[in-house]
Amino acid sequence: MSQSDNPSSKGNGKKRNSLPPARSKGGGSKHGGARRKPDNAPASPGAAVRVAAARTLAPVLATKTSLNLDGLPSGVAGRDQGLYKALCFGVCRQLPRLDALAGKLLKSSFKAQDQDIHALLLLGLYQLLYMRIAPHAAVGETAGAARGLGKGWATGVLNACLRRFQREQEALEAEVDKDPAVALSHPQWLLDTFQRNWPDDWEAIAAANNAQAPMTLRVNVAAISREDYLAQLADAEIDAVACPFAEHGITLASACDVSALPGFEEGLVSVQDEAAQLAGQLLAPAVTAINPEGEGVRLLDACTAPGGKLADMLERFPALDATAIDIDGERLERVEETLERLELGAGVVCADASERDWWDGEAFDVILLDAPCSGSGVIRRHPDIKLLRRPNDIGDLARLQGKLLENLWGMLKPGGTLVYGTCSIITQENARVMDRFLAATPDAKAETIKADWGRVSGAGRQMLPQVNGHDGFYLAHITKAGA
């Protein structure tokens, strides 16, 4: 974080006169007689990180792409990586509210080619509302970032809008928050879906979606016990507690770079949410019942990427005969990297789990289907879902989930076990998919999940996202009739 971004208590201080809150048609204005900086002037460190954030957010705002924070953009110092990510994630989490406020400050919208300037306005509002950055830095560095984008004309517009917001903040917030979708920073259709599915919980779900997700680890118990790893974290002065539901899980008090985790490169631990860890915990008894070591047990992990659940099963049973498939070749590279770091082995295949052209014809003892879904249970980790997901996606996804279940069921041995999971909290993708499958599949039986996590939802259990706790996730346990 640059010096100008040092957090401080909020306070507007002495106000200055502002320009009219509209885009200038010319090349910018001179303020107080000062010489105008050229549009291509080198950006200060504080402005540079905002330039990078605006460039990252612009295509997301145009609904062209998902939010991608892999790697550090050029011009951003390593010490500012945390600020860069916090700005990008934060704007996406609060986008409906920030957009509504921006609409009150602008006389007309920016042109399509100026989405980066619109992103800067949202970034400035986010800093003033939700971050402990000094207001003068939030305004000055954000407006100055327009020059780093080669659009010096926008500095006056951004200054005027942000300073007007400082003066009229209370009234502007009250006005836009009359709309629940704005106040809760979710698209209306998604709030309606949450309220219909979870009438007593929908507001808490929205609040959890708008909070920062905790960093949760899965301990490789083949190499170290959870208790011993907690001791290593304490020695490294990293505060952490054992997860209440995942038997191998640990939640950190504050997120950190994985390079700071003791033994990460040696495979002692992986990053995985607590809810996701429960899939392996649910599937493990089926493997143990066949062979306590997992030897000779055929496991299929369908839609495996990024591979955390596969790694969990192989850590529990290194002798498993595991096959992992995913339709996304690029994401499979992450699976292979994970397996290599953990020194685990599996057959990794780029294939479509709704087809059979990849299958050798030998049935599997256990199948894990982590089905493609809306991601509505992990919005806090992927806040661009609010912008990119559409209402008609849910029906399409539910049909795909049913097709995957039907296809994979034919690959399961009689007496075998299938665990179905999604990171969704929408019943159309979960309980209703399972209800239809069970009604159409006479040899499928839903097993009661006896657990203290989540709640009963159709044939499975549903977890809702928890502030400082697990993500939203659905799991169902099905067995196939026969020997």
Q: Is the dihedral of CA 9, 12, 13, 19 positive or negative?
A: positive
446 contacts 432 by C-beta, under 8 angstroms: no
Q: Give the integer Cα–Cα distance in Å for 91 and 95.
A: 5
Catalytic residue among 88, 92, 303, 423: 423
Q: Give the integer Cα–Cα distance in Å for 354 and 400.
A: 8
Q: Give the integer Cα–Cα distance in Å for 275 and 231.
A: 23
Residue listed under structure tokens 């099905």:
478
AA identity, residue 417: T
**CA distances from residue 108 to 26, 104, 111, 152, 168 in whole angstroms, order as listed:** 16, 10, 9, 19, 19
Give yes or no: 423 in active site.
yes
**CA distances from residue 179 to 97, 108, 164, 166, 285 in whole angstroms, order as listed:** 10, 21, 22, 21, 48
What residues are annotated to the active site? 423
